[in-house]
A and B are shown apart, each in its own frame.
Chain A
Amino acid sequence: MKVFRQIWTIIVSVALLLALWEAIVRFSDISPALLPSPLVVLKAIAELCRNGSLRQNITDSLWRFAIGYVLAISAGTILGILVGWYKSIFDYLNPILQFLRPIAPVAWMPFIVLFWGIGDLPAIVIIFIAAFFPVLLTTARAVINLDPVYLKISANYGVKSPSILWKIVFPAVFPQIANSFHIALGSAWIFLVSGEMVGTQSGLGFMIVDARNNMRSDHLLAAMVLVGAIGLILDLLIGKAELAILKFWGQTDVH
């Protein structure tokens, strides 16, 4: 019953959006060349599917995203645990992190291009930067706020440093880490497009730049729709994984 209602609300909200879009196209003075209707965009997607360029772009994007994201969450988790555990490091590092964090990942772009040139790397680095900070900070905070009972148990049952880090600390804060993976996925996906707008010759971000250069607003919207749809699917998947983790840890009532 709940599932049906969920599906129903999704259908209605998507239909509303499409109807609004269609209405704007029909009843405004905007030229169809500038704002194509949903149907035209759908046709554009179909066309891009047929000539194979869409598949290539999506695969390239997902590859870059996977590499940047996995590197970021691995590094963020490991460093977060170390920094949280040795709290004096965190105290010194935190001001620097707080200073770097508000700098948008794309602001690094000129430097990245200067250092590593163009190609896949700038996009991967942007995704890395976007995903790294939320994971690092959330993990460090979770370790700092670790329930002291775990430390007492470790002392009583002979779990010593450093094995306490992977035996007790990491699993104890894993639900919070999983939550940061979820948040990081969203923000990293947002920056995928900007990362691919400079210097790459494929990917969803490139599709957008390419469509702009060719004045193909239907392709432009097609790429945007796909970025949104894939982001939504990725978010749903990681949300499910996160819920499963919470359930395993017996923390479902937290939500």
Chain B
Amino acid sequence: MYIEIEHARKTFLKQSGETFTALEDVTLSIERGEFVCLLGASGCGKTTLMNTIAGFESLTSGSIRIDGKPVRGPRQDYVMIFQQYGLLPWRSVRKNVELGLESKKISRAERSRIAEEYLKLVGLSGFAEQYPRNLSGGQQQRVAIARALAVKPEILFMDEPFGALDPITRCRLQLDLQRIVRNETHTVIFVTHDIDEAICLADRIVLMEADPGRIKNIFPVKLNRPRYRSSPDFIAMRQRILREFFPVNDTQIEYFI
């Protein structure tokens, strides 16, 4: 397996002095090229789990290996995309996309060419010389995606990347993301609390639960792409997942936000 998480446990000391268990005995394997969604309500440890895989946080106990090597800290080939985009407001869109290329031995002209290429991929060709302040939230997140892809990362971590966007923009970005990552064949770990978003994107959905944060269940999603929310398979999948959250009155729930 490409990513192997074994008995991962993470505790924090709260200000009141109690220990809070963010992750309790999480074991999970992820294949190369797989698109995995970590799905769950707030406080279930999904972001903590992703931060530990990405090397931004360390585990209290247990181990995480990527490609056989233990994770020791953040790396340039595992790149994260954030809910608040994380663009540099003082740089133009093109210079933002070039950020990760500057530490590599790439000429100025080549950097510029790569930036253009990825801006085209995310549908922002004409925006290279604009500044982030002039862009909508959806466009800013597209820039962040272009910036991440431009360094050709092996793993893409996405931390509720569409959480701050309106539903229509979000749907459009979900469709585009499917197209983009299919072409680029990355391993993607995607954190969300939106069931539809998870079904729309994932090869596998890892359902998580809070107190303490742990894996509740794992669903492979075997639907054809592109996936549409109105298809019967999609709706059936949504029902299955909802049943996990609300086991008793499952017939009454028809809609979930």
Contacts and interface: CB of A to CB of B under 8 A. Distances in A.
Given A168-B88, A248-B90, A250-B133, A156 B80 contact: yes
A159 B102 CA distance: 8
A3 B88 CA distance: 33
A250 B151 CA distance: 26
Interface residues of B, number: 25
A171 B100 contact: no
Interface stretch (B36-44, B71-79, B232-240, B249-257): B71-79
A160 interface: yes
Contacts of B74: 152, 155-156
B123 interface: no
Contacts of A251: 89
A90 B45 CA distance: 33
Given A149-B82, A152-B74, A158 B104 contact: yes
Interface in A3-40: none
Interface in B85-120: 86, 88-90, 99-100, 102-104
Nearest to B79: A156
B90 A174 contact: yes
B2 interface: no
A252 B78 CA distance: 33
A250 B80 CA distance: 23
Contacts, number: 59
B100 A156 contact: yes
Which residue among A149, A150, A251 has the maximum number of chain B CB atoms within 10 Å of its CB?
A149
Chain A: interface size category: 10 to 19
Contacts of B151: 157
A172 B87 CA distance: 11
Interface in A155-183: 155-160, 168, 171-172, 174
Contacts of B161: none
B88 A171 contact: yes
Contact of B89 (A152, A157, A159, A249): A249
B56 interface: yes
Contact of B86 (A149, A158, A159, A249): A149
Contact of B131 (A155, A157, A250): A250
Given A152-B74, A250-B131, A250-B133, A157 B82 contact: no
Contacts of A150: 86
Given A157-B76, A174-B90, A250 B132 contact: yes
Contacts of B133: 247-250
B174 interface: no
Contacts of A157: 76, 79, 99-100, 102-103, 147, 151
Given A149-B82, A171-B88, A250-B89, A156 B103 contact: no
Contacts of A171: 88, 90
Nearest to B85: A149
Given A168-B88, A249-B89, A152 B80 contact: yes
Please list the 8 inter-chain residue pairs (A to B) with the smallest Cβ-Cβ separation, ordered nearest first: A250-B133, A158-B103, A155-B74, A157-B100, A171-B90, A149-B86, A250-B89, A158-B76
15 contacts: A152-B82, A152-B86, A156-B79, A156-B100, A157-B99, A157-B151, A158-B104, A159-B99, A168-B88, A174-B90, A248-B131, A249-B89, A249-B90, A250-B89, A250-B131
Given A248-B133, A249-B90, A250-B133, 11 more contacts: A149-B82, A149-B86, A152-B56, A155-B56, A156-B79, A157-B76, A159-B102, A160-B103, A248-B90, A250-B132, A251-B89
